[in-house]
């Protein structure tokens, strides 16, 4: 059913813990300069929503530039559990959702919060959805109240009982919705539901992330009528007839590109990354320049170069176009090497500093008080055995491993593989000494 582009196979997150099988680890020998070119994959946080939006039509959809990562495989499981047919061929994903039923498969939903994005399309198309409450999350409470309030405003009756969310709507009706905060997922879910509602919906205080524009463009390619994405007011005119199929190429992943740029900045050397959409990366690029890294842009290519000597920064995560929370852990790891004290404030999530304990194990001098981390550099990081607690924490440990003396062994690769397509392979190709060790007894799918 699915075939990835090469030898890399993502380890999948297990429902209910790690199990007993020996899991792969990543081994890094740090302090090597990086030189060469790295191809940036398609954007995880766009493609997952486009996959959900494919449920709006009975016609075949083709999504190109799809990254081969755990979360995409998981979303395929969600869509197939709903009755859609999916085929991943290299980086092209074919989805045909001819006949659907409203109950999403529990295990796949519990593994990935983004599964909640099927609610809007299913309510819009079938008038019904039943989905398990999304699971707890290592980065803090992540309620879905804004998704549900918005769907209720569109006329859905939603019942939360026995760990499930059950929604019904004879026909969704366009409405004025004012989000209490600019939630990315709620904005997207409501755009998808409103695309097939009666009349016009206006979403105010909408999220402005580039991935929202992808959802707009995708729906419009299907025959929908959405405008305003990228601003804080989105207007969606529901279409009466059925939406059609689409052939769509997803944008490059700005967070993967940012992570690789941070790796290049901390190691020193000379790395080019492409394709990137530079407007999506302006604040990350600006912070790297402020830290003293060399940064150049040439069309769709970002070049990061220098000697790895960095200055401290003040960073505050914020909704787009502010500094992305999804880059905060990697930058904290980088700043352990900066010559001075950095202050990093996390405003989006209540507990997105889990990587700090593991970084301390490697010798980092970081104190956390609530949502503020004080990173005292420069630290001589030394390789250690560490464990990733979530996707971006895993990426932060890779950054630290590249900067550390000696060997770092990272456990919990299922988190890294959720969102990075063969990160180790990409870094090894530009000179990092990094290998995945797969214990022979571990049956990796």
User: Which residue numbers are catalytic?
Assistant: 137
- Under the binding rule (CB under 6 A), the answer on residue 218 touching ligand EPZ is no
User: Is the Cβ–Cβ distance between 248 and 53 less than 8 Å?
Assistant: no
- Under the binding rule (CB under 6 A), the answer on residue 242 touching ligand EPZ is no
What residues from 313 to 372 belong to the interface with ligand EPZ (CB under 6 A)?
325-326, 348-349
* CB 183, min distance to ligand EPZ, A: 3
Distance CA 79, CA 13 (A): 17
The radius of gyration of the chain's CA atoms, rounded to the nearest angstrom, is: 21
User: What residues are paired with 29 via a beta bridge?
Assistant: 407, 433
**Number of chain residues interacting with ligand EPZ (CB under 6 A):** 24
Is the Cβ of residue 66 or residue 430 nearer to ligand EPZ in the bound state? 66
CB count in 10 Å sphere of residue 230 = 16
- Under the binding rule (CB under 6 A), the answer on residue 391 touching ligand EPZ is yes
Angle ∠(90,95,100) on CA atoms, nearest 5: 150
Element (H, E) at 190: helix 184-194
Distance CA 249, CA 409 (A): 36
In angstroms, how far is CA 304 from the centroid of its own chain?
Answer: 22
User: 61-64 and 246-249: which strand pairing?
Assistant: parallel
Among 144, 154, 246, 368, binds ligand EPZ (CB under 6 A): 144
> Which residue stretch of 144-152, 164-172, 196-204, 228-236 sits at the interface with ligand EPZ (rule: CB under 6 A)?
144-152
- Under the binding rule (CB under 6 A), the answer on residue 52 touching ligand EPZ is no
Residue 141, burial from CB neighbour count under 10 angstroms (0-12, 13-18, 19+): exposed
Among 184, 257, 285, 304, binds ligand EPZ (CB under 6 A): 184
Is the Cβ of residue 136 or residue 242 nearer to ligand EPZ in the bound state? 136
- Under the binding rule (CB under 6 A), the answer on residue 45 touching ligand EPZ is yes
- Under the binding rule (CB under 6 A), the answer on residue 143 touching ligand EPZ is yes
Window 405-434: contact mask with ligand EPZ (x via CB under 6 A) = --------------x---------------
What strands lie across the sheet with 128-132, from one edge to the other?
Answer: 128-132, 164-168, 157-161
* CB 262, min distance to ligand EPZ, A: 14
Q: Which residues bind ligand EPZ (CB under 6 A)?
A: 45, 48, 113-114, 141-147, 181, 183-186, 207, 325-326, 348-349, 391-392, 419
């Amino acid at each position: 059913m699915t075939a990835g582009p090469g030898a890399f196979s993502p380890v999948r997150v297990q429902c209910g813990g790690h199990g007993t099988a020996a899991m792969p680890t990543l081994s890094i020998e740090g302090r090597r300069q990086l030189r060469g070119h790295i191809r940036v994959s398609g954007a995880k946080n766009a493609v997952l929503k486009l996959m959900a939006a494919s449920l709006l039509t009975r016609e075949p959809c083709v999504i190109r530039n799809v990254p081969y990562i755990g979360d995409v495989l998981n979303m395929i499981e969600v869509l197939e559990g709903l009755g859609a047919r999916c085929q991943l061929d290299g980086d092209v994903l074919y989805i045909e959702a001819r006949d659907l039923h409203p109950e999403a498969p529990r295990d796949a939903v519990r593994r990935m919060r983004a599964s909640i994005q099927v609610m809007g399309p299913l309510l819009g198309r079938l008038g019904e959805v039943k989905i398990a409450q999304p699971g707890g999350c290592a980065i803090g409470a992540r309620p879905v109240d804004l998704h549900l309030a918005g769907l209720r405003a569109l006329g859905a009756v939603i019942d939360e009982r026995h760990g499930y969310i059950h929604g019904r709507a004879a026909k969704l009706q366009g409405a004025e919705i004012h989000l209490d905060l600019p939630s990315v997922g709620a904005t997207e879910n409501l755009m998808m539901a409103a695309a097939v509602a009666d009349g016009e919906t206006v979403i105010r205080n909408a999220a402005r992330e580039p991935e929202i524009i992808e959802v707009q463009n995708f729906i419009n390619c299907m025959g929908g009528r959405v405008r305003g994405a990228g601003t804080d007011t989105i207007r969606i005119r529901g279409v009466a007839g059925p939406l059609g199929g689409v052939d769509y190429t997803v944008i490059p992943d700005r967070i993967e590109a940012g992570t690789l740029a941070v790796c290049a900045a901390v190691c020193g050397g000379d790395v080019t990354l492409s394709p990137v959409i530079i407007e999506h990366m302006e604040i990350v690029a600006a912070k790297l320049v402020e830290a003293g890294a060399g940064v150049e842009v040439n069309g769709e290519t970002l070049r990061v170069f220098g000697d790895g000597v960095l200055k401290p920064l003040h960073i505050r995560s914020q909704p787009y176009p502010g500094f992305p929370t999804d880059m905060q852990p990697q930058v904290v790891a980088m700043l352990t090497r900066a010559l001075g004290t950095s202050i990093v404030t996390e405003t989006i999530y209540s507990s997105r500093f889990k990587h700090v304990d593991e970084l301390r194990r490697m010798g980092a001098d970081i104190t956390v008080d609530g949502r503020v981390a004080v990173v005292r550099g420069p630290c001589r990081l030394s390789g250690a055995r560490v464990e990733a607690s979530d996707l971006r924490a895993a990426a932060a440990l890779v950054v630290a491993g590249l900067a550390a003396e000696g060997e770092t062994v990272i456990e919990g690769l299922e988190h890294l593989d959720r969102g990075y397509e063969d990160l180790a392979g990409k870094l090894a190709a530009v000179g990092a000494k990094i290998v995945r060790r797969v214990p022979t007894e571990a049956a990796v799918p």
